[in-house]
Amino acid sequence: MATKKASKKSSKKSPSKKSTRSTSKKSRSASKKTSAKKSTARKSTSKKANKKSSSRKYGPSVGKNVEREMREMKRGKLKSGRSGKKVTSRKQAIAIGLSEARKAGKKVPPRKKS
């Protein structure tokens, strides 16, 4: 009940509080505007990352090679080149599919060198 009394008292003094509230709202909106300006500045610096290439990176037939290698891996028939061990990693199966597509001369970007 004490809160109700306090709210009644504050409602009587509302003209003086309204002026302080309106100024605080203005300062809040001003801070929002400045944060919006900062985010636009960040976006303009990362234009290179958003640049899209005009053509496909991988040819449509490359997906079939990768798909075939994934099936072999799931069945347990996919083996690595030199050692002949079974491939259990999904990433390794994709890498094998892409390298076979490169050897066949299909449209695949060059291998990343580390």
Q: In sequence order, what DSSP letters do the residues of 8-49 get, joined into one string?
A: HHHHHTHHHHHHHHHHHHHHHHHHHHHHHHHHHHHHHHTHHH
Range of the domain at 80: 62-104
In this prediction, residue 34 has a pLDDT band, given cuts at 50, 70 and 90, of low
Q: Residue 86: inside a domain, yes or no?
A: yes
Looking at the predicted structure, is the pLDDT value of residue 15 above 80?
no
Looking at the predicted structure, is the pLDDT value of residue 2 above 70?
no
Q: Residue 93: inside a domain, yes or no?
A: yes
Q: Residue 112: inside a domain, yes or no?
A: no
Q: What pTM was computed for the model? A: 0.50
Q: Residue 49: inside a domain, yes or no?
A: no
How many domains are contained in the chain?
Answer: 1
Q: Do 9 and 16 contact (CB within 8 A), yes or no?
A: no
* For residues 82-95, average pLDDT: 92
